[in-house]
Amino acid sequence: MENKITRRDAIGKIAATVAIAAVAPGALAQSQNSNTNKANAKELTDPRNKYPKPPFNKQSQPFPGLAGKMTPVPDHGEKSYVGSGRLEGRKALITGGDSGIGRAAAIAYAREGADVAINYLPAEEEDAKQVIELIKKEGRKGIAIPGDIRSEAFCKQLVSQAVQQLGGLDILINNAGHQKANESILDLSSDDFDWTMKTNIYAPFWITKAALPHMKPGSSIIGLSSIQAYDPSADLYDYAQTKAATTNYVKSLAKQLGPKGIRVNGVAPGPVWTPLQVSGGQTQENLEKFGGDTPLGRPGQPVELASIFVQLAADNASFATGQIYGATGGKGQP
């Protein structure tokens, strides 16, 4: 039987052919883009092997220690942190911003568009200069304010200088801390106990009080808690107490300041490779195996916490207040 093609069938086939031809370039481009994206996609990184693992070399520095003299040198994000303008135009004060977690936060904030003032002890000037250079390299203001936050008068002066030189203040990170391991409470002097309390509890109280009159709705305060607040080590009797106190002041202050539009949160790290550890924060025996008891088998690096500080200060975290964000490598709470 002979196949017959009607006029309607012919017109339909022609229309279908035209439609395919019209769609094909777009489909081709989409396919090419997909291939390009696959080529540019970063491969997954095994978090267990991303940074150095124990055993570490025994090493000791006089308090407060310098990051540049550690082996290995900590990664604060100097080369790895990439910003995206999430804190454009913001003005931040970070205590202990010369090294460790504070330094990582300072670098990240500058790369996210914020002007940053850092506080540190005069003995940490070498580390502080590097941070200020990195901040200014991003085209942001970098303000260095050395001094001892165990003094209430200096804490007031610190905030005043930061506000004046930054032109305001809308982010405060109470990061600076004192930690010294003591095998027994009998080895802990009243002077050392007072040093820890003044640095870790009194200073955030004084600095926050001085800063609040300058902070508008939308501002953010971030405290540095620790895994020690939840699972204290036997040799960190005084330090652990202060971190439990930090957790509580974050939650209390969040309730007090929420009605004013100011958010208060905290970050609770586990073992992180910073000068705090090599300047009395750990015994030499513990330092060799530092971080090895985490599920990831290593300590954290300061840069691995930087994005948490950015998120807590950013506007899109506007419903987060009174929260403690953990970064412990899987070890303990929160």
Residue 4 clears pLDDT 60, i.e. is over it? no
pLDDT tens digit string along 8-34?
A: 554 455 444 444 444 455 555 555 555
Question: In terms of C-beta density within 10 A (0-12 exposed, 13-18 middle, 19 or more buried), how is residue 328 classed?
Answer: buried
State the pLDDT at residue 22: 47
Domain boundaries, the chain: 67-327
The CATH class given to the 67-327 domain equals: alpha beta
Q: What is the mean pLDDT of residues 143-170?
A: 98
Determine whether 239 is an active site residue.
Answer: yes
Residue 7 clears pLDDT 90, i.e. is over it? no
| Mean pLDDT of the residues in the chain | 90
Which residues, including other chains, have CB under 8 Å from residue 293's CB and lie 6 or more apart? 331
pLDDT tens digit string along 52-82?
A: 999 999 999 998 999 999 999 999 999 999 9
pLDDT band, residue 333 (cuts 50/70/90): confident
Residue 251 clears pLDDT 90, i.e. is over it? yes
Q: Which of 51, 81, 230, 239 is catalytic?
A: 239
